[in-house]
Structure 1
Amino acid sequence: METTADSDLSDTSRSIHIVTTATLPWLTGTAVNPLLRSLYFQKSRTESAKVTLVIPWVVKNNERKEVYPNHIFSDGKAGMKEQEAHVRKWAAETAGMVPESKTLRIQFYPATYQNKLGSILTLVDICSLITTPDVDVCILEEPEHLTWFPMPSYSDNLIKPDDFMPISDIGWMAKFTHVVGIIHTNYPEYCRSYGVRGSRRLTAKTLQALSKLVCRSYCNKIIKLSATLPVMADYKECICNTHGVRSDFLRDQKDTNEKSVMNSDTETKIYFIGKIIWAKGFNFLLQCEEKYYEEVGEYFPIDIYGGGPDVESIKRSFFGVRGKLGHNEPDSSLTIDGRSSSIDEGDQPSEEGSNKGNTLPEDQDEQHQKDDTLSHLSETMIKAMPFLKDYIEKEEDNAVSSQEKLSTSIKTLKDSLDLVKNYPKLNFQFENIPKTRYEWRKTAIPANFKGPRDHAALKFSQHKIFVNPSITEVLCTTSNEALAMGKFVILPKHPSNEFFYQFPNCLAYKDLKEFVSHVKFALTHEPTPLTNELSHHFTWEAAMDRLIDASVITKEDQKILEESGRLQRDKRKAWIHKESGRMIKGDVLQNVMKCPSVDLKEYELEYEGLEKERESYMLNLAGDGGPKSLMFLSFMIAIVSYFLQR
């Protein structure tokens, strides 16, 4: 079918801006994939076409240390230049794209890191920062994340508050000829599983309504990475995997036999790589180990790469509080709670897919909350000891005076207090009380926690089976990479994994029994060598072709949108969302965002104009805290947007 010229990204003379929510050295999916996408666009463009990657600059130094713990960047422009140099170095050395790393344009926007959300949020209207004359195509990586909060901009001064529909020139679709939004993360599901109890469902629905509003307002075409994502705009969305893998993941079969002997004595055949949190399916993986033990009589060894906030509790669940390995005597290298460890702390962060959208199933979350009760037993009883002691003495006196027997409950309470009081003499450590049912195990699972590692470094290792039990991903980057390296990948049958079913080394399971069956098969067989045709599916060249095809709008579809009034309603939504940002300028914004002063002139590219308008606009922010008022404001916007969905 005939396509509109505006939506044709195959024209290599067109300039492209790619805006994302994260950047290196944070090796998360929304940092790595947009960078590689921009490099491959740069590779295919003509000399006159410009490709610009727009990335966040975390303003506060303490927040940068939290996001990039192994890297130190200076404040201000000096720090931006240092981080830009780091990005270009990675593009040249790791991605192997030296010419493109030099010609790619990089622009920063001021941002703040919210650790409770695990996300970087913009401090300004990013669209207003882009003032180059070559604005044409824009790709918004996580468009909802980039536009949730309607930040004010210098362009607000040019907009008359009493104008309504003339504001059709507001936003991304007004500035750019064609705007493509790529949805990476299931944020409503994140809220549904990790939100505050009692308000999870309401919060998830509110966030979904807000996400629909901004995606419809600012995107001409919406691309969802997999079917696991909710509907944003059924009249202009599609499902497509627009990600590829770096060239160094594509296994060179000629070198495999020569290099596969590396670390053969210390590596297991099965491994996992990713963020070490319960949301990645470790609860299910532990159940799989138990099922395998029932059928085979032993646990399967596994190497686990990565780091995360749940690493200690997960290690305890694999080893048990005794820290024993199998049926052998205690192994000091596998003990926990302050004793020596064999964990190899790598110095490179794990390149793992979407670090956003990490969720626990409801039952798992409730189970962990129940387990946490036991972990607080010691602290609670010790604090209550003086009051309980007085109560027991009073009851004992009453029993003596009344010549009645002391109740069983009082005796039990007294015995418990005696235990707490005398526990140092008994050499009992309350911190070793199991927090999950898995920690009661008598036999440890032979797991090696090896710390963060670049997945590509495992290309020629002895690992041939990658297990990924997570069902919280949108499209798992590590599964993509493992299949590209020619390894078996054992994963659940889930909408997020549908793209991988076409490959012979993908072993999808529907239950524990099938998982164990796949493990047995993979341990006794070798992966099927990838044909050139199958290998091509993993390349960024193929991913770029898929993106170009998915971004297209046919003339017939465009006509339907215009005649149905959809486009006009989307412009109205953009106006409503933008106008809400006018309420949070000046002192209000100063109290809301709680960040250092941000001079937008620092974020201009040298050739950009509108200096006079920029000089009169500066965000003066100070203090500590988070965007609570913005979230409340967005909540109100979402309520309004509910009535604008059709």
Structure 2
Amino acid sequence: MGRDLSSLRESGRHIAVFTTASLPWLTGTSVNATLRAAYLAKICKEAKVTIVLPWLGHSDQKEVYPHDITFQSPDEQEAWVRNWVEERVHFKSDYKIRFYAARFAPFLGSVFPVGDLTKSIPAEEADVAVLEEPEHLTWFHHGQRWTDAFRHVVGVIHTNYVDYIRRGGGRAASLSVTYLNRRVCCIHCHKVIKLSDAVQSLPRQVTCFVHGVPPPFLEVGQQASKPSQPGEPRFSKGAYFVGKLMWAKGFTEMLDMLSHHKRSTGEALPVDAFGSGPDADQIRSKADEQELQMTFPGRQDHLDDSIRSYRVLVNPSTSDVVATTSCEALAMGKWIVCAEHPSNQFFKAFQNALIYKDEAEFSQHLAHAMANDPHPMSEEDIGRLSWEQATERFLVAAQITPKEWPGGLGAFNDTIQWHLYNAGIGLEVLRKAVGAGQNTGQQPESVKGWDPEGYERLKNGEYHQRLGYVEPRLL
């Protein structure tokens, strides 16, 4: 490809999408990355598309996957993933699925590769690499440099890790992660796509929202936009939240806003918070302490019948890059109430997005949403939210023009930085100190049957502590 224009639309390209989470974990990096692969295969008919997913040991699966879903083999999980995708997109997509060995770090709440992830794709297919969360995939990466292994490497930033670390570890830790993210993205990516400007500035960046919403959500929204029968409300329930029950997901802001609403109106607005997470007990206790009418029904798919009848999603989070659940709620024809923030810039084009600047406006928007039906979905709304348009935006954002290729002194500096970083992160004592875990730099012989020794006997995180995992505040 050299310094010429490089586009994913070119005939004969091999596109590999690498991500940090796999279905059935319903998190943004699993859902959006898998759907991206499916739609790339649909739209780029002359390309060969592969998605590379983490394969977890059996005990990690029990920790991460919902509803006690576990798999005995990668083939079994592949069948589950394909079935889930086909139910969501309503078409069969010609893409491959590969797996890499990975471990779940419970104190970090994240999955990390074991060994050199670049080796997951045969050398003859190593053309385009789409790194979903490039910083996450490369913090502990020891092995071949991604831009040496692949001709065209584009990273997609999903998560505001700097904000997460700031909340858990303070300003010094967040500044360290800010610098680290810039270094690893500069070393490993030819181009970086930010979903919004809620995240830090990164080298060779472009800001574009390249995610969409699967057809079933849009179908629910189109149905909800139809006039209801006389005497029957379009929505029979009020306010809800769906997502991880973590303070970093905006629950501090949620409780503060709901407390202000209670003080200003004299009534506590009922809110049902669907989800699970490490801070669930603390959040529930704090809500009870403030005498808020919040219930916690547990983890549930956003498309579940039990959620469809709610009229307004309350999402005060400012830690998301762009909230997937807010997109889904808009697609389902609901109101969303969210904060004035770069992460919500995309939503300003939608009539049903009620964006507040302060506590008083939050209460006003919430009262309006509870008293009025959302606006019917327009064709423009449906198009903006669709994965077809999102994929077209991605293809434009991911191309590299001749002027955008890194070169000169900057490229030389990146190479020096890479050699230093790779040498350091290869030291076992350093890997343990920064939370990578013991022996995670070693390449497993095979993904099939991958499960670290002793994993099955310890379910409470003791094994991970012995492996050297540290809590986020130590990062």
TM-score (norm 2): 0.86
Match in the other structure for 1:462: 309
The alignment status of 1:178 with 2:146, answered yes or no, reads no
Give the Cα separation in 2 of the matches to 1:184 and 1:588: 26
Counterparts in 2 of 1:535 and 1:72: CA distance versus 1, 3 Å: closer
Larger strand fraction of residues: 2
Counterparts in 2 of 1:120 and 1:460: CA distance versus 1, 3 Å: closer
Q: Which amino acid aligns with 1:216?
A: C
Counterparts in 2 of 1:41 and 1:13: CA distance versus 1, 3 Å: same
Question: Does the CA contact (< 8 Å) of 2:5 and 2:402 recur in 1?
Answer: no
Match in the other structure for 2:103: 112
Give the Cα separation in 2 of the matches to 1:502 and 1:317: 35
Match in the other structure for 1:85: 79
Counterparts in 2 of 1:626 and 1:572: CA distance versus 1, 3 Å: farther
Question: Does the CA contact (< 8 Å) of 1:597 and 1:622 recur in 2?
Answer: no
Give the Cα separation in 2 of the matches to 1:206 and 1:224: 20
Match in the other structure for 1:514: 361
Counterparts in 2 of 1:127 and 1:598: CA distance versus 1, 3 Å: closer
1:243 to 211, 231, 251: 211
Question: Does the CA contact (< 8 Å) of 1:223 and 1:240 recur in 2?
Answer: yes
* 1:355-401 deviation digits (Å, cap 9, x = unpaired): xxxxxxxxxxxxxxxxxxxxxxxxxxxxxxxxxxxxxxxxxxxxxxx
Question: Does the CA contact (< 8 Å) of 2:336 and 2:352 recur in 1?
Answer: yes
Indicate the percent of aligned positions where both proteins have the same amino acid. Answer: 34
Match in the other structure for 1:568: 412
* 1:421-445 deviation digits (Å, cap 9, x = unpaired): xxxxxxxxxxxxxxxxx2xx4xxx4
* 1:243-299 deviation digits (Å, cap 9, x = unpaired): 1111111146663358999x9899522221112233333333333334333443322
Give the Cα separation in 2 of the matches to 1:479 and 1:134: 36
TM-score (norm 1): 0.64
Q: Which amino acid aligns with 2:37?
A: S
Counterparts in 2 of 1:15 and 1:595: CA distance versus 1, 3 Å: closer
2:52 to 47, 51, 54: 54
The alignment status of 1:95 with 2:95, answered yes or no, reads no
Match in the other structure for 2:65: 68
In structure 1, the residue corresponding to 2:73 is in which secondary structure? helix
Counterparts in 2 of 1:622 and 1:289: CA distance versus 1, 3 Å: closer
Give the Cα separation in 1 of the matches to 2:221 and 2:31: 26
Match in the other structure for 1:215: 185
* 1:35-64 deviation digits (Å, cap 9, x = unpaired): 0000001112335x32111111113x3222
The RMSD of aligned alpha carbons is 3.5
Give the Cα separation in 2 of the matches to 1:588 and 1:303: 40
2:254 to 266, 278, 285: 285
Question: Does the CA contact (< 8 Å) of 1:249 and 1:459 recur in 2?
Answer: no
Give the Cα separation in 1 of the matches to 2:441 and 2:197: 40
Structure 1 position 226, deviation (Å): 1.2
Give the Cα separation in 1 of the matches to 2:443 and 2:127: 27
Structure 1 position 306, deviation (Å): 1.6
Question: Does the CA contact (< 8 Å) of 2:333 and 2:374 recur in 1?
Answer: yes
* 1:474-533 deviation digits (Å, cap 9, x = unpaired): 111011111122211110101111111111111111111001111122223222222212
Give the Cα separation in 1 of the matches to 2:441 and 2:404: 46
Aligned 1:9-158 pairs, distance under 5 A:
9-46=8-45, 49-59=47-57, 61-73=58-70, 78-97=72-91, 99-100=92-93, 103-152=94-143
In structure 2, the residue corresponding to 1:489 is in which secondary structure? strand
Counterparts in 2 of 1:580 and 1:506: CA distance versus 1, 3 Å: same
Counterparts in 2 of 1:603 and 1:449: CA distance versus 1, 3 Å: closer
Q: Which amino acid aligns with 2:342?
A: P
Counterparts in 2 of 1:481 and 1:260: CA distance versus 1, 3 Å: farther
* 1:442-472 deviation digits (Å, cap 9, x = unpaired): xxx4434322221123598332211111111
Match in the other structure for 1:526: 373
Aligned 1:171-570 pairs, distance under 5 A:
171-195=145-169, 200-233=170-203, 236-251=204-219, 255-256=223-224, 257=226, 268-320=237-289, 438=290, 441=291, 445-457=292-304, 461-558=308-405, 561-562=406-407, 564-570=408-414
Give the Cα separation in 1 of the matches to 2:395 and 2:227: 39
Counterparts in 2 of 1:619 and 1:23: CA distance versus 1, 3 Å: closer
Gaps of 5+ in 2: 456-462
Match in the other structure for 1:423: none
Counterparts in 2 of 1:627 and 1:250: CA distance versus 1, 3 Å: farther
Give the Cα separation in 1 of the matches to 2:157 and 2:186: 12
Structure 1 position 310, deviation (Å): 3.0
Q: Which amino acid aligns with 1:286?
A: L
**How many residues are paired up?**
460
In structure 2, the residue corresponding to 1:173 is in which secondary structure? helix
The alignment status of 1:593 with 2:432, answered yes or no, reads no
Gaps of 5+ in 1: 153-169, 321-437, 605-617, 639-646
Q: Which moved more, 1:104-113 or 1:244-253?
A: 244-253
Question: Does the CA contact (< 8 Å) of 1:259 and 1:460 recur in 2?
Answer: no
The alignment status of 1:625 with 2:472, answered yes or no, reads no
Counterparts in 2 of 1:530 and 1:259: CA distance versus 1, 3 Å: closer
In structure 2, the residue corresponding to 1:565 is in which secondary structure? helix
Give the Cα separation in 2 of the matches to 1:600 and 1:105: 21
Q: Which amino acid aligns with 1:143?
A: P
Structure 1 position 203, deviation (Å): 2.5
In structure 2, the residue corresponding to 1:231 is in which secondary structure? coil
Give the Cα separation in 2 of the matches to 1:526 and 1:447: 22
Give the Cα separation in 2 of the matches to 1:11 and 1:174: 20
Counterparts in 2 of 1:182 and 1:265: CA distance versus 1, 3 Å: closer
Counterparts in 2 of 1:65 and 1:557: CA distance versus 1, 3 Å: closer
Question: Does the CA contact (< 8 Å) of 1:598 and 1:620 recur in 2?
Answer: no
The alignment status of 1:580 with 2:427, answered yes or no, reads no
Q: Which amino acid aligns with 2:419?
A: W
* 1:172-199 deviation digits (Å, cap 9, x = unpaired): 112222100111122232222112xxxx
Give the Cα separation in 2 of the matches to 1:470 and 1:620: 36
Structure 1 position 627, deviation (Å): 9.1
* 1:278-335 deviation digits (Å, cap 9, x = unpaired): 3333333333334333443322232322222333343344445xxxxxxxxxxxxxxx
Question: Does the CA contact (< 8 Å) of 2:335 and 2:374 recur in 1?
Answer: yes
Whichever of the two has the greater Rg, that structure is 1
